[in-house]
Amino acid sequence: MKKRKLGNSNLEVSPIGLGCMGMDHAYGKPVDREEMIKLIRRAVELGCNFFDTAVVYGESNEELLGQALIPVRDQVVIATKFGITGQEVVDGKPQNILNSRPESIREQVEGSLRRLKVDCIDLYYQHRVDPKVEPEAVAGVMKELIAKGKIKAWGLSNAPIDYIKRAHAVCPLSAIENQYSMVWREPEKELFDLCEELDISFVAYSPLGNGFLSGKYTKDTKYEEGDFRGLMRRFKPEVMANNQALLDLIEKVAESRNATSAQIVLAWELSQKPYIIPIPGTTKMHRLEENLGTYNIELTEEELDSINEALFKIDIDETHF
């Protein structure tokens, strides 16, 4: 398995990482701790060395990951985030509380170090841009934290192009973490060019479209309380019906390769750019093994051409995904 570099850092990661959000956040109730520790350690056994968390997923999410990786700390790369310090309800809708003031970042990093049970965080992202703090100020703190050995590298998540450029000029970025999948290709418009220009890796969250592209869900699927897929447009019956042609295409390619739809989707994503690192999340052991089994699948040029040609023709309804 050939690893992928995180930008201009000395960090090398497995082509596919593991997103840990769903173990505590957004997809229902928190999952059993012992089961998740087994799953995380199994990921390492299967060659995955890149793990993604954030304090906003629940402090227990960082604690879980830190506990699970104690025996293999020297083998893995841990990413966590700062900048969202909580959530509040505004006009009936949950809103993130943003705080990237330098003094707050310094407090936040200490909390993450403690919960992760590490002396240094490998990759530290600003989770969301704080409109009250200039990118130069944030990057200046990152430069300071790197010099102090608190973090090894840093990145941005869902930041505007100009913000990325200004931050990178002060302290070079190693990674951008944004959504990217067959049904959300927005980064192809400008962001990938910028990543190539500045030597920044692209870490793709929701590479399976929150599970939509796995083929495991239908218009009749019922979602448990707390699972935000029940509110997402891409899982509405009419939208799923509109995109069935895409799901059918993926399934056809998967059958020809004796693979699963999820594996074909991840293999497609890995082939798009050599600096893309998908981080699908799961709480199920068989799904973990399925996702990481993609390491053994390399799509041919003919297969990629047929998929991309079909994607170009399919009317993918990605509005408000």
Which residues are marked as active site?
57
Q: Which is nearest to 48 in space by CA: 235, 257, 280, 309? A: 280
Adjacency order of strands within the sheet including 201-205: 18-19, 50-52, 77-82, 121-126, 151-157, 175-179, 201-205, 276-278
Q: Are 267 and 299 in contact (CB under 8 A)?
A: yes
- Residue 288 region by backbone torsions, left for phi larger than 0, else alpha for psi between -120 and 50, else beta: alpha
If DSSP codes are grouped into helix, strand and coil, which group holds residue 83?
A: coil
Structure-block tokens of residue 121: 């965080």
Distance CA 170, CA 142 (A): 9
Distance CA 319, CA 272 (A): 22
Q: Count Cβ atoms within 10 A of the Cβ of residue 304 and give its class: 0-12 exposed, 13-18 middle, 19 or more buried.
A: middle
Q: Which is nearest to 248 in space by CA: 310, 193, 320? A: 310
Distance CA 70, CA 116 (A): 9
Distance CA 94, CA 1 (A): 41
Tokens 């690192």, residue located? 277
Q: Are 34 and 6 in contact (CB under 8 A)?
A: no
If DSSP codes are grouped into helix, strand and coil, which group holds residue 203?
A: strand
